[in-house]
Structure 1
Amino acid sequence: MEDGAGPRSFVFREDAAYGDKLKKLEPVEADRRLTVKLQQAVTRFEISERLRVNTLTQLPREAPWTATVDPARVASVLESFLVEEVPANAPDYDMVAPLGADTVVEFVVQEYGMRSKKGHAGAFLRGYGRMFTLDGRSEVWRHPFSVDQVESGAAHLDPFKVGKDPDLFRQAMTLMLDQVALDFVKDLTPRDRRGGPTLPDHPISSSPDNVAPVLVEPPKPPESDLAPGELPDPDPDPT
């Protein structure tokens, strides 16, 4: 997870369609408030773990995936459980060599959050996956990814509804992460190999971690007609 990857909101600053709804609330402040809601929805650790675990568990039970290093040992030596720390230290991959690893598969999330265009909002996720050897750092595979609900024409993710129910953003992120994992699996599936021993299962934990999110921007005084830190109520659903 890169420093400053997110969550980030570009909903209100880059789309004037919400101006009447915001009234006196400045777009920058509205994006800040929405960012706080996105932080409550899903943690950086959950995002990184879901992408890793969903990819690993869907890879075929064939070499080389039957010879992977225990992920708990990797996490311990790399201190990857500290992904919530901002800024996070870059991993020193030489530390996994004593565990028997000779190649590293790395997934990097560069940016995620919400954006909007012409009143149509959605979640987005960008980054890349790569494989490289520890001896010489020779890169043997790279797969950039960019999943954007606005560009793909997915259903509108109402930012005001997200403000009241942040789990809506979590659900959107889950769908996108699972799609990226599936794309990774297709790339990393070896061909013309015999099956190997079954890999251990590494179930995804849906429970949030206990690390409080770090807010970068200081809060502004709340608008008089809104509760502190809240966005306007969403419009009623048409009947």
Structure 2
Amino acid sequence: MTRSLLPFIALALCAGCASQRLAGADLDRVRRPAFISRIEDGAGPRSFVFREDSAYGDKLKKLEPVEADRRLTVKLQQAVTRFEISERLRVNTLTQLPREAPWTYTVDPARVASVLESFLVEEVPANAPDYDLVTPLGADTIVEFVVQEYGMRSKKGHAGAFLRGYGRMFTLDGRSEVWRHPFEVDQVESGAEHLDPFKVGKNPDLFRQALTTLLDQVALEFVKDLTPKDRRGGPTVAAPPGPAAPDAATPTFAEPPKPSDPELPPGELPDPDP
């Protein structure tokens, strides 16, 4: 399946995933929220750079685009773990929420991770957890962030990172959903600076930096959604202290043959342009 079909599939999937604004009255009823952040099975990282953009053909030479994408995917996997992605989204959202109820009464994330058996493992479980396990911790509401797809893509020689998923809030008693925010952030579509896939092949941390930017952008969107203006609210709690951010001449001899292109090392992409 090519990525050209993905927008239509996403449209069909999102028909039942429309945004739902969080009402202040609904947030006022929350007493003890628990945050869960996870990545769906097969979400990524994925590379759609070379298969869907012919701009890199000359650079790849004999290397097939499918193989080039496979090699780039391996590099993306080295850049950042699934756990780092899910945790950054959770932590950056939670730490930017106002110091007021119910956010000051959030269930300890270590206890949540422990009961969901994700505390001692690097990878967040891909499948949806058993939310009822969180009830004994005193939680009455779940705030869940889910990453459905992430990686790199390219269009007309302009590459970048992308990230897609959703955030939602629902009550444990009855599973009533009171907030949903689908997100899709794409550096190619937004016109961000070109993320050279060949440079990423040599320095995968460049992808981690790009993805971090997208995660922080989504976290800001979540914070805005989770602080509705129409609520009664609770007493403000002081924030804990923190650290202070062509030649005219015709030759008379035959031109020597061009040397053959050197073979790429196994698993590597071509070097970036100087």
Are the aligned partners of 2:161 and 2:188 in contact in 1 as well (CA < 8 Å)? Answer: yes
Residue aligning to 1:67: 105
CA deviations 1:149-203 (Å, max 9, x no partner) are 000011110000000010110100111100100110000014342334357799x
CA deviations 1:24-51 (Å, max 9, x no partner) are 1111110010001001111100000000
Residue aligning to 1:186: 224
- 1:2–1:36 distance in 2 versus 1, CA, 3 Å: same
CA distance in 1, matches of 2:107, 2:208: 30
Identity, in percent, stands at 86
DSSP-derived class of the 1:123 partner:
strand
Q: 1:102 aligns with which of 130, 135, 140?
A: 140
Rg bigger for which structure? 2
Residue aligning to 1:39: 77
CA distance in 2, matches of 1:58, 1:11: 34
Q: 1:176 aligns with which of 189, 214, 229?
A: 214
DSSP-derived class of the 1:98 partner:
helix
Any residues of structure 2 matched to 1:139-218 within 5 Å, and which?
139-191=177-229, 192-198=232-238
| Residues 1:84 and 2:123 are matched in the alignment | yes
Residue aligning to 2:267: 229
Residue aligning to 1:128: 166
Residue aligning to 2:53: 15
Are the aligned partners of 2:151 and 2:163 in contact in 1 as well (CA < 8 Å)? Answer: yes
CA distance in 2, matches of 1:54, 1:105: 14
CA distance in 1, matches of 2:239, 2:170: 22
CA distance in 1, matches of 2:100, 2:215: 24
Q: How many residues align?
A: 216
User: Which AA in structure 2 matches 1:62?
Assistant: E
CA distance in 2, matches of 1:189, 1:196: 13
What TM-score do you get using the length of structure 1 for normalisation?
0.85
CA distance in 1, matches of 2:218, 2:240: 21
Are the aligned partners of 2:79 and 2:207 in contact in 1 as well (CA < 8 Å)? Answer: yes
- 1:31–1:184 distance in 2 versus 1, CA, 3 Å: same
Q: Which runs of 4+ in 1 moved over 6 A?
A: 199-202
User: Which AA in structure 2 matches 1:166?
Assistant: P
CA distance in 2, matches of 1:200, 1:112: 33
- 1:144–1:182 distance in 2 versus 1, CA, 3 Å: same
What TM-score do you get using the length of structure 2 for normalisation?
0.75
- 1:132–1:201 distance in 2 versus 1, CA, 3 Å: farther
User: Which AA in structure 1 matches 2:123?
Assistant: E
Are the aligned partners of 1:10 and 1:116 in contact in 2 as well (CA < 8 Å)? Answer: yes
